Amino acid sequence: MNQTNFQLVRSDMPIIDMSDIQEAVVIDDPTSNLPDTTHFITANTSPITLSQLRTENTIPVFAKDNALTISHQDFCQAVYEAARDFFHGEIVDEPAIRVSHEVKGRIASAIYKPLAELLDTDKTIYWQRCAFVVKISSIQREIDGNTMSLCIAGTRSYHLDRLTGRLCPQHFKLGIGFLVSVCTNLCLTTDGLKHEILATSPQDLYRAALSLIQSYQMGQHLALLESLTNVSLTESQFAHILGRTRLYNFLPPSHKRGLPSVAIPDNAVNAIAKAYYTDPNFAANEGGEIPMWKFYNLLTGAIRNTYVDLFLEREAAATTLAAGISAGVQGSDSGYGWFLN
């Protein structure tokens, strides 16, 4: 795959209406004065480059027929090439990649060597989980003074595939949305998320990435994000929402019926509470009031400290939660009244 370039066929393909992104600008230096994009997720992950993946990452096989899996590097490369082809003429950054759950091994000739005598050439390694974002730096929008860049994100984990069996379709996830430059929080919606892609080749992933880009409703997504700037929470409402969110995680199944699904773990609730007072960009004002846009960024910021295989779904769920609570504050029957009452 590393040497393969795919052909993009544009006949009869719908394209994103760039008029949806008002005030979009092309910038000469997309990396100046911006934080490291690799912090889009933290948790127990480590940054790695595409070049390092190609040279350091052993590719697992399916045990029964010794067939290669799709490697992390091929996944990243396929999506990167799809973004470059679709957004021809735009500035498309190389993937910012993070990996976790290191799996160590040895080459056959070093099986019986004592640990202290192992050479680097005797060792093998692969990472069970991988997450990345491909940022289109020249497509930007500003909300409440915060610059955002269009991006495509992907995650995969080998633990979702049966490597003990024969070659079969492997599991991948993709999302498209915006990356907030000041904090690298990812803004996704459920409509911009493919939470289960089954693929047997990098070409399948290339096509899935193109399909996701083509179906993305950029204008609707931006309108939703902008609407969050028009609503604010009082300190009392904020505290009530956090308390209800913590209770939600322990509700009996019968009590959860009729309530919207919320995928915010307890450790994220703690992080949101702390950030309400201390976040340099999205903390509440002196009176304790916090705009929904800032509340939303506290949610997405806290979710950055989550496992790779749950990351994209939780980021999309944060958007749904913020939008639902925003509607509830304005008196709409959004189904989120329980979090406010």
Q: Encoding tokens for residue 339?
A: 């979090």
Backbone angles phi, psi at 261, to 5 degrees: -70, 140
- Identify residue 67 by its one-letter amino acid code: A
pTM of the model: 0.86
What does the pLDDT read at residue 36? 64
By DSSP bridging, strand 67-68 and strand 96-106 are unpaired
What pLDDT was estimated at residue 261?
84
Q: Where are the domains of the chain?
A: 18-218, 231-339
Q: What is the mean pLDDT of each run of 10 residues along the chain (341 residues)?
A: 39 42 35 59 90 90 92 97 97 95 83 82 88 96 96 96 93 97 93 95 97 96 96 95 91 87 85 95 95 96 92 94 93 83 82
CA distance 297 to 303: 10
Q: Would you state the pLDDT for residue 258?
A: 82
Q: What is the pLDDT of residue 219?
A: 95
DSSP code of residue 60: P
- Specify the DSSP class assigned to residue 223: H
Q: How many helical (H) and strand (E) elements, i.e. helices and strands, does the chain have? A: 9, 11
**DSSP string for residues in 68-126:** EPPPHHHHHHHHHHHHHHHTTTS-BPPPEEEEEEEEEEE-GGGTTS-GGG--GGGEEEE
pLDDT at position 24 is 35
